[in-house]
């Protein structure tokens, strides 16, 4: 897996958009960008993934730069329940191989 | 969406006891399952990769005789912590993915293991 770099922590006001950056400058052509989040004492929850096009689902949007060296996860209207550690992982999806988790970004949504 | 069930959610037992943790994929067949361990305020650390019908592949530094993994079917993998000691106390998490290309891993809710 390509190494990913994320800020260790961020705050966001409730109701505002939370924009979580991830740097993956060594990503290779067959590696997707996956985002997961982990709420305290729970297993990680899948959020979204993409290769090079921007993606959107009911939880979030994923914006990947044209050179694919970085991406941003956007939670459009953050709620208190979005407080969690967010992990960005670059991983080739056409194998059964494991994810290696970095340290992630601890997002705190403030009332 | 894909659901992975992990059981039990919490175990407290005496030192020297063996503990079995189950991981089930409820609505899909998981050709590969993964076991992670997480210590407080740290990230997830991969312990082993489990493929149905074959021996698990362990990460460097993980004792295969202490952490026994069995993946007997496409919906069930088990992790047995043998002769557990207090230093084995941790949060154990499994994940599973189907063999379909471009599908993410889905995680269980974890097992909090406390060895007294």
With a cut of 50, list the residues of chain B below it in pLDDT.
none
Per-residue pLDDT at A85: 97
Q: Contact A102/A87 with Cβ under 8 angstroms?
A: yes
pLDDT at B1: 65
> What is the pLDDT, as a whole number, of residue B53?
81
**pLDDT for the residue A86:** 98
Output the pLDDT for position A78.
Answer: 97
| Tokens representing residue B38 in the block | 């997480």
From the list A38, A96, A98, the residue facing B31 with the nearest CB is A96
In DSSP terms, B13 is beta-bridged to B115
Which residue of B36, B43, B108 is in closest CB contact with A102? B43
Q: What would the two tokens of residue B54 be?
A: 């074959």
Q: Which two tokens stand for residue A24?
A: 């993956």
Q: pLDDT at position A96, please?
A: 55
- Give the Cα-Cα-Cα angle A94, A97, A101 (nearest 5 degrees): 115
Residues paired with residue A71 on neighbouring β-strands, in sequence order: A22, A64
pLDDT number for residue A95: 56
Q: Could you tell me how many CB contacts below 8 A there are between chain A and chain B?
A: 58
Does any CB of chain A come closer than 8 Å to the CB of residue B71?
no
Indicate yes or no: CB of A34 within 8 angstroms of CB of B112.
no
Looking up tokens 């960008």 gives A33
Strands B67-73 and B76-81, bridge-based pairing = antiparallel
Work out the minimum CA distance from B73 to partner chain A, whole angstroms.
16
Find, among A93, A47, A103, A45, the residue nearest to A72 by Cα.
A47
| B51 contacts A43? CB cut-off 8 A | no
Query: According to the model, what pLDDT value does residue A54 have?
Result: 94
- What is the structure's pLDDT at B30? 86
- pLDDT at site B63: 94
In the predicted model, residues of chain A with pLDDT beneath 70 are 93-97
Say yes or no: A100 contacts chain B, CB-CB below 8 A.
yes
Strands A84-92 and A31-38, sheet pairing: antiparallel
**Locus of tokens 């889905």:** B106
Give me the residues of A, 23-82, that contact B with CB < 8 A: 32, 34, 36, 38, 41-46, 49
CA distance B82 to chain A (A): 23
What pLDDT shows up at residue B62? 95
| Phi–psi pair at A82, nearest 5 degrees | -85, -5
pLDDT of residue A93: 64
């Amino acid at each position: 897996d390509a190494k990913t770099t994320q800020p260790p922590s961020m705050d966001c006001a409730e109701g505002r958009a939370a924009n979580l950056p991830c740097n993956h400058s060594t990503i290779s052509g067959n590696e997707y960008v996956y985002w997961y989040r982990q709420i305290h004492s729970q297993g990680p929850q899948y959020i979204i993934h993409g290769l090079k096009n921007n993606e959107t689902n009911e939880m979030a949007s994923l914006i990947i730069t044209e050179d694919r060296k970085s991406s941003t996860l956007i939670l459009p209207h953050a709620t208190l329940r979005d407080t969690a550690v967010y992990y960005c992982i670059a991983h080739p999806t056409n194998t059964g191989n494991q994810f290696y988790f970095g340290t992630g970004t601890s997002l705190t949504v403030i009332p | 969406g894909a659901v992975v069930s992990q059981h039990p959610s919490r175990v407290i037992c005496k030192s020297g006891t063996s503990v079995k943790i189950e991981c089930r994929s409820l609505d899909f067949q998981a050709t590969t399952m993964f076991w992670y361990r997480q210590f407080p305020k740290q990230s997830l650390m991969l312990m082993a990769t489990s493929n149905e019908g074959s021996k698990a592949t362990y990460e460097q530094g993980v004792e295969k005789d202490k952490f026994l993994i069995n993946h007997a079917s496409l919906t069930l993998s088990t992790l047995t912590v043998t002769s557990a000691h207090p230093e084995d106390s941790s949060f154990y998490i499994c994940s599973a993915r189907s063999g379909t290309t471009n599908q993410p891993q889905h995680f269980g809710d974890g097992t909090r293991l406390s060895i007294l």
